[in-house]
Copies of this chain bind each other. A is one copy, B any other.
Amino acid sequence: MSGADHIHALPLREHVYERLQELLIARTLGPGDHLVEERLAAELGVSRGPVREALQRLHRDGWITLRPRQGAFVNQPTRQQVEEFFEAREVVERSAAELAAQRCTPEDAAALLGICDEADADWARGVPAQQMAGHTARFHRTVMLCARNHLLLEFGEQLSQRSRWFFAPLVSSIAPRAWAEHREVAELIAAGRPGEAAAAMRLHVEQSRDSYLDTQLVEDTPPEPVAFRRTRAPSGSRAGDAPRARRARA
């Protein structure tokens, strides 16, 4: 996440996509918010084109809902969706762990355990939660890298990012348990024990699910009710900055 702001050797839509992901994870854009293309474009200093493309990708990845003639709305995960999410994650991650244990090289093993060490050290040093979340994402990504399957990797990436989104508020509280489980998974993969690695990963995902559901952060709101309501400025009084939805990034 270093500089790379000025020269864009990378397509612009990527920047927009990542930036929006950050805003989503940080809850600067919260569930129900209406994402207006023009506003985001102005905010990020680009035009509507790249923003549109990024929004469509966010839609496909399950972050936002794109209603046909109405625009983009940040998703409010329902309990149903959360359960489906963890179920899917369990399927993908478990298989990935199994394959990883069959195929991981010594270098892979070192990388996995290295991430665990780093994370533990950083945790001991008390780094911000966001950074721990970054470690988690890297860990799961590395497992899927070891599985040597690009499709599973891509599925896993999607799930991993969304997981980071879900867990953003409570990373700190579950970090110790999570990293103990991570290390166990890593050691079983490194030892080349597919069945046990798969089981350990499955357990890890289930534990995470339970932790999440216990916090009751999830609401059973149906997908519709949150609409954009005007701030009662109907005629003439165009208050330049009417915060009809939370502003993106001060």
Contacts and interface: CB of A to CB of B under 8 A. Distances in A.
Task: Give the number of times this chain occurs in the complex, counting copies.
Answer: 2
A11 B68 contact: yes
A88 interface: yes
Interface in A1-55: 11, 13, 49, 52-53
Given A68-B11, A91-B91, A92-B91, A151 B62 contact: yes
A150 interface: yes
Given A92-B91, A155-B155, A149 B84 contact: yes
A15 B150 CA distance: 28
Contacts of A56: 13, 53, 56-57
A81 B152 contact: no
Contacts of A148: 84
A219 interface: no
Contacts of A212: none
Interface in A70-103: 81, 84-85, 87-88, 91-92, 95, 99
A206 to B, nearest CB: 15
A60 interface: yes
A11 B151 CA distance: 28
A56 B62 CA distance: 16
A91 to B, nearest CB: 4
B84 A151 contact: yes
Contact of A53 (B52, B85, B151): B52
A151 B99 CA distance: 21
A60 B62 contact: no
B84 A150 contact: yes
B151 A88 contact: yes
Given A60-B60, A87-B99, A88-B151, 14 more contacts: A11-B68, A49-B49, A52-B53, A53-B56, A56-B56, A56-B57, A57-B60, A81-B150, A84-B148, A84-B151, A88-B149, A91-B91, A151-B159, A155-B155
5 contacts: A56-B57, A60-B60, A84-B150, A87-B151, A155-B155
